[in-house]
Amino acid sequence: MIQLNDIKKVGSKTIKLLNKLDIYSVNDLLEYYPFRYDLIRRSNINELKNNDPVIIDGVIENVPIINRYGKRKDRMTFRINTNTKLLNISIFNRGFMHHNLVPGKVVTIIGKYDILHNTIVASDIRFGEIGEDHIEGVYHTTSGISSKQIKSFVDEALKMDIQVEDYIPSIYQERYHFCDKKTAIKNIHNPKLPIDLKKARLRMKYEELFVFMLKINMLKHNKSNKLGLSREVDVDKVKDFIAGLPFELTKDQLKCSKEIYLDLISEKRMNRLVQGDVGSGKTVVSIISMYINYLSGYQSALMAPTEILAIQHYHNLLNMFKDYDIKIELLTGKLKNKERKQVLEDLKEGNIDIIVGTHALISEDVEYNNLGLVITDEQHRFGVNQRANLRNKGITPDILYMSATPIPRTYALTLYGDMDVSNIRTMPNGRKPIITILRRSNEIRDVLERMYKELKNNHQIYVVAPLIEESLESSLENVKSLEEKMNKAFGKKYKVGVLHGKQDNDTKDKIMNNFKDNKIQILISTTVVEVGVDVANATMMVIFDAYRFGLSSIHQLRGRVGRNSLQSYCILISDKEAERLNVLVSTNDGFKVSEEDFKLRGSGDLFGIRQSGDMQFKVADLRKDFNILLKAKDDSLEYLRSIDYAKDLKIVNLMTNSSNLD
Ligand code: ADP
Ligand code: MG
């Protein structure tokens, strides 16, 4: 097999750099597509206006002059002759190139034209002529390797005889007149004409989406998924439990609980998603499900995306089941070895009825006695689906997902193909809609006054500083400067607490508990509080630099307030993107917000794709290519009906290589 180091000029050092770009094989390299294309076309210098971008070639006229200044900075100047004109070239910090820039040599200059000084301020100098006008791919790079180098490696690889697996069945190749995959790959890297590029990309998009839908649809067909557990449940006991709850269920909570009950007692394996806005009361539905599961003699596992949330669920469960003889345990990373061992032992022996934790509950070495129900809270955080993990363990419990990020209907139907969906649309009685206000940073006085008003009424406030992804340090700085600001404004009378990602779990718990107990009135955090945390006395959420967040994320955040009959507020502070943020001012409906978000930002944030490798498409974009997705969906279904796919080796490989989609 041809490997990376078979490519000219690729040695172990380069391979390390390529690895950084997730390129581990020649095939990875071939599928490392340009993220943008430049049209390389000789400029006609006589038609250019000031500051126009130029690409032009010419012969070097004189030995370059280098001016050095500052630390390792330089400016190099020389002249070129373009046949029609003499032009000055000026380029910064390329002094090291001067040995190669000898008079008489032909170079191509890329840069901007300064008409007044008859000068091109160059960004790049290349050797040799431009050649014909062409389209040139530009690749994402990492320090130590340039787009040009990547391009040369790709070009070398394209010359080699490399096998690429083509997943589009021939009937669809013909139906859509697709070119073969190798040609498509060639054209994506080196398109001769824009139309070639378009065709090549379309073909690759289709293939990605076809494979994706094939996997989803195969799950649907997979019989082993459908065999559920058999249960006998005394329905009166369930009714009594519901009647004993501290509040009356909303209509949708009841409906949803009933759907789950029917799923659980049926022979079919449950695979259900409960979608409901933040605060709609999904937790109690999950509690009822666990009770039903308990009555039929099985263990339940409740998984939360963070430890803070797991702990909160745990205490909530202890409280809800305090009059019942149900054994509940918490499995988190901070258990001491001995305690952990004991919990694992008890789980295996069947001494625990309900276990609460993060998703480590199924991915680690945890053995169950008779696991009957797995509940994943805020499931969009985990990626699409996690059944494979369980199936590998040979257990087939019923599965319930809870999500506060509603997925637009059409998308949900496609992506969650084999999932049943329950919606909780009604909010618990007495809830007042949250009032959302948008302010600019120079209106901070107004914000502080509003905060003061809430504090005076003995209410509490969340303050959110955006997490700056690339730089943990500047995030911390953000948080610190906010802490100072808040202390300056309110510190005399009120206590300010800070929660951020760098703290250890103990510290986080302590701060969270202090906030819960109203020992802290203002809690500043990055998005740690985004999901699930429940402090009913908090009535205001202030979000700084709100433009940095997706609409759905903010919607989640503001769901932390408005948790009882008190009027709650969300204040967005932003000097940018007012139009987008105004969506949140105008509606409290999570479905509407997510539709808008989806339109604006694509699927990425919505599905938590960063966590789910299988939805990382190289060329396809779920938002823009939805029509192709629909085609791919129909075709994959048709295809599955037409073949015995258990014997189709390509598909078998596909499925075994990608268990995490399941
Ligand atoms: P989410 O759907 O965001 O997970 P929770 O389940 O945390 O929402 O519920 C939010 C709050 O509403 C909790 O404090 C919960 O006790 C309360 N709650 C849930 N259902 C009802 C109801 N039917 N009536 C009154 N309060 C409710
Ligand atoms: Mg919840």
pLDDT per residue as tens digits for the range 137-152: 889 988 888 888 999 9
The amino acid present at 4, given as its one-letter code, is L
pLDDT at 142: 86
Asked if residue 520 is part of any domain, the answer here is: yes
Does residue 471 share a domain with residue 368? Answer: no
- Decide: 279 in ligand 1 pocket, CB within 6 A: yes
- Decide: 428 in ligand 1 pocket, CB within 6 A: yes
| Reported confidence tier of residue 572, pLDDT bands at 50, 70, 90 | very high
- Decide: 460 in ligand 1 pocket, CB within 6 A: no
The sheet with strand 496-499 has its strands ordered as 435-439, 569-573, 538-543, 460-464, 522-525, 496-499
Give the residue, 43 or 609, on which the prediction is more confident.
43
pLDDT at 609: 34
Tell me the two tokens of residue 130. 């431009």
Q: Write the CA distances from 384 to 148, 270, 379, 387, 596, integer angstroms.
A: 36, 16, 8, 10, 21
pLDDT at 509: 80
Does residue 454 share a domain with residue 390? Answer: no
Q: What is the pLDDT of residues 301-320, one digit of tens each?
A: 999 877 888 988 999 999 99
Does residue 398 share a domain with residue 441? Answer: no
**Separation CA 443–CA 545 (nearest Å):** 13
pLDDT at 42: 79
How many separate domains does the chain show? 3
Among 134, 165, 146, smallest CA distance to 30 is for 165
Average pLDDT over residues 458-475: 76
**Residues of the chain with pLDDT > 70: what percent?**
85
**Separation CA 242–CA 246 (nearest Å):** 9
pLDDT at 471: 60
How many H helices and E strands in the chain?
A: 23, 21
pLDDT at 383: 40
Contacts of 373 (CB under 8 A, 6+ apart): 264, 289, 290, 293, 298, 299, 300, 301, 397, 398, 399, 400
| Reported confidence tier of residue 225, pLDDT bands at 50, 70, 90 | low
Asked if residue 394 is part of any domain, the answer here is: yes
Which residue's CA is the closest to the ligand 1 atom numbered 17? 281
Beta bridge partners of 91: 76
Does residue 470 share a domain with residue 343? Answer: no
pLDDT at 333: 79
**CB count, 10 Å around CB of 380?**
27
Does residue 129 share a domain with residue 27? Answer: yes
Tell me the two tokens of residue 509. 């718990």
pLDDT at 604: 43
Domain that holds residue 560: 435-587
Does residue 468 share a domain with residue 374? Answer: no
Asked if residue 647 is part of any domain, the answer here is: no
Identify the domain boundary among 587, 602, 618: 587
Does residue 469 share a domain with residue 391? Answer: no
- Decide: 284 in ligand 1 pocket, CB within 6 A: yes
**pLDDT of 528 strictly over 70:** no
Residue 105 backbone phi and psi in degrees, to 5: -80, 150
- Decide: 249 in ligand 1 pocket, CB within 6 A: yes
Give the residue, 135 or 409, on which the prediction is more confident.
135
Give the residue, 510 or 622, on which the prediction is more confident.
510
Residue to mutate (ligand 1; options 534, 555, 561; most atoms within 8 A of CB): 534
| Reported confidence tier of residue 611, pLDDT bands at 50, 70, 90 | very low
Which residue's CA is the closest to the ligand 1 atom numbered 18? 281
**Separation CA 374–CA 353 (nearest Å):** 12
Asked if residue 151 is part of any domain, the answer here is: yes
Does residue 567 share a domain with residue 456? Answer: yes
pLDDT at 344: 93
**pLDDT of 631 strictly over 50:** yes
Which atom of ligand 1 lies closest to the CA of 280? 2
**pLDDT of 210 strictly over 80:** yes
CATH of the domain at 440: 3.40.50.300
SS3 percent helix, strand, coil of the chain, rounded to 5, is: 45, 20, 35
**Separation CA 206–CA 212 (nearest Å):** 10
Q: What is the full DSSP assignment across 321-334?
A: TTTS---EEEE-TT
Does residue 397 share a domain with residue 316? Answer: yes
pLDDT at 183: 94
Q: What is the pLDDT of residues 50-94, one digit of tens each?
A: 988 888 989 999 999 999 988 888 999 999 998 888 999 999 999
**Separation CA 58–CA 607 (nearest Å):** 51
Asked if residue 50 is part of any domain, the answer here is: yes
Q: Say how many Å lie between the CA of residue 535 and the centre of ligand 1.
A: 11
Asked if residue 449 is part of any domain, the answer here is: yes
**pLDDT of 384 strictly over 50:** no
| Reported confidence tier of residue 660, pLDDT bands at 50, 70, 90 | very low
Identify the domain boundary among 587, 608, 630: 587
Residue to mutate (ligand 1; options 563, 564, 568; most atoms within 8 A of CB): 563
Does residue 475 share a domain with residue 331? Answer: no
CATH of the domain at 66: 2.40.50.140
Angle at 473 (CA atoms; ends 472, 478), nearest 5 degrees: 100
**pLDDT of 512 strictly over 50:** yes
| Reported confidence tier of residue 600, pLDDT bands at 50, 70, 90 | low
Q: Say how many Å lie between the CA of residue 284 and the centre of ligand 2.
A: 9
Does residue 399 share a domain with residue 443? Answer: no
Of the CA atoms within 13 Å of residue 275, those in its CB half-sphere come to 17
Contacts of 610 (CB under 8 A, 6+ apart): 604
Predicted structure pTM score: 0.62
**Separation CA 88–CA 65 (nearest Å):** 12
Identify the domain boundary among 541, 556, 587: 587
pLDDT at 203: 96
Average pLDDT over residues 168-178: 93
**pLDDT of 602 strictly over 60:** no
pLDDT at 614: 44
**Separation CA 249–CA 245 (nearest Å):** 8
Among 374, 373, 370, smallest CA distance to 382 is for 374
Asked if residue 178 is part of any domain, the answer here is: no
3 state DSSP class of 547: helix
Contact between 520 and 495 under an 8 Å Cβ cutoff? The reply is yes
Least confident of 176-185, 200-209, 211-220: 211-220
**pLDDT of 438 strictly over 70:** yes
Asked if residue 62 is part of any domain, the answer here is: yes
Average pLDDT over residues 114-132: 86
Contact between 541 and 560 under an 8 Å Cβ cutoff? The reply is yes
pLDDT at 656: 52
Contacts of 178 (CB under 8 A, 6+ apart): 168, 172, 184, 199, 202, 203, 206
pLDDT at 168: 93
Among 416, 455, 446, 405, smallest CA distance to 606 is for 405
pLDDT at 661: 35
Does residue 475 share a domain with residue 364? Answer: no
Burial letters 302-324, b for 16+ CB under 10 A, else e = bbbbbbbbbbbbbeebeebbeee
pLDDT at 32: 94
pLDDT at 616: 63
DSSP code of 610? G
Least confident of 284-298, 362-376, 573-587: 362-376
